[in-house]
Structure 1
Amino acid sequence: MMISSTFLQRLREVKVNAERSVSATYAVDPTLFTPVQFHARALLGYSVNGICAWFIKHLGVSIAQQVSEHCQSMVVVGCEIDYIRPFDFFEVDEFTAILEKVRVRQSSALLEFFHVFTAGGHEFARVVTRWKIVRLEGDAALSAVSGNMSESLLMRFKPIELDSLPIQRILPLKVVEIETVGQLYVQGSYNQMLHRHQCEVADQWAFHELTALAAQMRERVVLSASSSEYPMGEILGRPIKQITMELSCPVFLFEEMLLETNVYLLEAKWVFLHRIYNLDRAKAWRSQGASATPHVRCCHVYPIQPPEYRGARHHYGDALSTTDAASYCRFARPSPQHH
């Protein structure tokens, strides 16, 4: 049978324009879950693993080789997590992490990765991560400055993976809406030092640990005496629906952070708006006359009594004491003009 040249040409075009993906299947284990859902930290951890696997499979270079041979690395600047449906520990034995597609953005200065997680043949979460390219300065501390993808690596990407469209930043618009339309209920803040178990190879925070910090902030606020008069007790027994996060600069080992949380009610949803400040850098900036800005902004969204989550296996909140949390955190009710 003769195959026409037109058909072969179309076949080649399909192959050239096909998305390059990687996937891996893992056993379900209890450390991946809270009583109500899959850990956000675990989702981001498997996302990073998928990115490393994608580079090896499709570009023939590991992250370590990018550092040692191409003098470049990546730092995360943003991510979104969307929980599509409930996924219970007892539901299935395995789940699959898929990196569906990759995009090179902003004149090869930023990479965007699109991840999907499935179990039993159905999606349960989607994750988007954005990474800024940095050029290494050659010292043992892996110091780096903003840069662009190495030309030798850029040429290994497919045309479909090179995207000139601008990044759609979701969080800044959300923050404006939350703070102007939402009703502020509770505020809280506390200081914390970054320790090595929260760090990656360059002794700066491993970004997926930020979801754990945000969860810690959320729980302290909910358990505080200031929140006791509001109907927030059930929040700790409900799954998060969405997490959106942006990072502007890192925190390094033993640097001190200020973690701030504001709780809003917006369109029948509890919204937790978190800000993390690097106090060591803030002090340096103030000495130069500059004002401190948050180095991380993170938003959690909880629908109130979402029908798809009713009848959750566990329920926490009402029986938990608020005294311990209030003793080591600074909490305040918002002033009347916020209501």
Structure 2
Amino acid sequence: MTSPIVFREPLYTTQFSPLQLRPRALLDLASNGLARCLAEHLVPISELVHQHDTAIVVRTVHLDYLAPDLRFADASWLGIRAQMTASETGEWLGVTVDYRAGHRPAARARLILRVLTVADPDSLAAQPGRLPDYLLVRFPTDQRRPHDEFRDRARIEQPFETGPELLVPQEWETTLTRSHCEVADQWSFFEMVELAATARERLFDIPDLPADARHQAVGAPVRRIIASFQRPMFVFDRCRTLTRAHRTSTGNDAVFEHAIHAATGDKPHLRVWELLDAV
């Protein structure tokens, strides 16, 4: 595994909001890039799961947009470059995905993934594991990183310094359906990031909130998204999303923080931070 995967995708309207490429569209393409890396350099992911009893789950997501924002009228094609690395122990994978419209950089996504051993081939239940040695050796030395580097990057606390509160915390309850999930009826990472964006945008329709907070929720492009997946949730689970919003300490941006919980319990299963331009 010595070369990145490079491919192009035609752009279409549902990948955009009026402000920029939607995060869900970029993270879906990141998943595509990951699948291509596996198929080209290791084995296709279906074979990884069913023939090698190995699966992977996303633990953290970093998505950074590069200004100026790419809008629908700006480009017809998006170039994607995906590069994969592994921990020396084979317990972690990392994928970096760069997006370009011609010579114009648009965004970068970085995923940290935990390798699992499939315990039940029917339900796809799995437990922490590692890549089989015969697959790990396909990563050259310069594409292997220390185990602790991956573990540390998978641990995220508060990534932004926040200042004044924009609104009182808001809670929203919903049910995960198969539109939120992947083949094992476990949540899909990019659909859950989309769920967090939905929790922010729905604030616009709450008339009791301050007008400036409602406008901030929908009126500015996203600059950065960070997501930390801690405990999985599954189809038909009830989930509570608690959203807080603050100005940053500099006042130049706004941070929306979403803690996604099970219907009962205090510890979040997922935390998502969105950094937006201040309006």
User: TM-score w.r.t. structure 1 length?
Assistant: 0.76
| Closer, same or farther: CA 30–253 of 1 in aligned 2, 3 Å | same
Quick check: 1:271 aligned with 2:245?
no
Structure number with bigger Rg? 1
- Shift in Å, 1:235: 4.3
Shift of 1:238: 1.6
1:52 to 25, 35, 38: 35
Instruction: State the distance in 2 between where 1:108 and 1:133 align.
Output: 7
Q: CA, structure 1 residues 303+95, in 2 after alignment: closer, same or farther (shift >3 Å)?
A: same
> Which has the larger strand fraction?
2
Aligned residue pairs, count: 272
Amino acid at match of 2:24: R
Instruction: Tell me, yes or no, if the aligned pair for 2:79 and 2:102 is still in contact at 8 Å.
Output: no
4+ residue runs of structure 1 moved beyond 6 angstroms?
A: none
Give the direction of change, closer, same or farther, for the CA distance of 1:231–1:190 in structure 2 (3 Å limit).
Answer: closer
Q: CA deviation at 1:223?
A: 3.3
The 5 Å alignment of 1:178-327 reads 178=162, 182-186=163-167, 187-230=169-212, 232-266=214-248, 267-268=250-251, 269-279=253-263, 282=265, 292-304=266-278
> What amino acid sits opposite 1:24 in the alignment?
F
The counterpart of 2:15, out of the listed 32, 56, 60, is 32
Q: Which amino acid aligns with 1:278?
A: A
- Alpha-carbon distance, 1:232 to partner: 4.5
Bigger proportion of residues as helix: 1
Instruction: Tell me the alpha carbon deviations over residues 261-307 of structure 1, each in whole angstroms, 9 at most, x when there is no partner.
Output: 00111121111010001226x3xxxxxxxxx31111100111225xx
Q: CA-to-partner distance for each residue in 1:130-154, whole Å, 9 max, x for gaps? A: 1111111124110001111111211
Deviations 1:188-242 (A, max 9, x none): 0011100111211101111101121111110122432342254552541221010
Unaligned runs of 5+ in 2: none
- Look up the equivalent residue of 2:113 and give its one-letter code: W
Q: Kindly provide the amino acid, as one letter, of the partner of residue 110 in structure 2.
A: V
Q: Distance between the aligned counterparts of 1:92 and 1:148, measured in 2?
A: 40
Q: Calculate the aligned-residue CA RMSD, in Å.
A: 1.8
Rounded Cα–Cα distance in structure 2 between residues aligned with 1:159 and 1:115: 20
Report the Cα distance in structure 2 between the residues aligned to 1:22 and 1:78, rounded to whole angstroms. 21
Q: TM-score with structure 2 length normalisation? A: 0.92
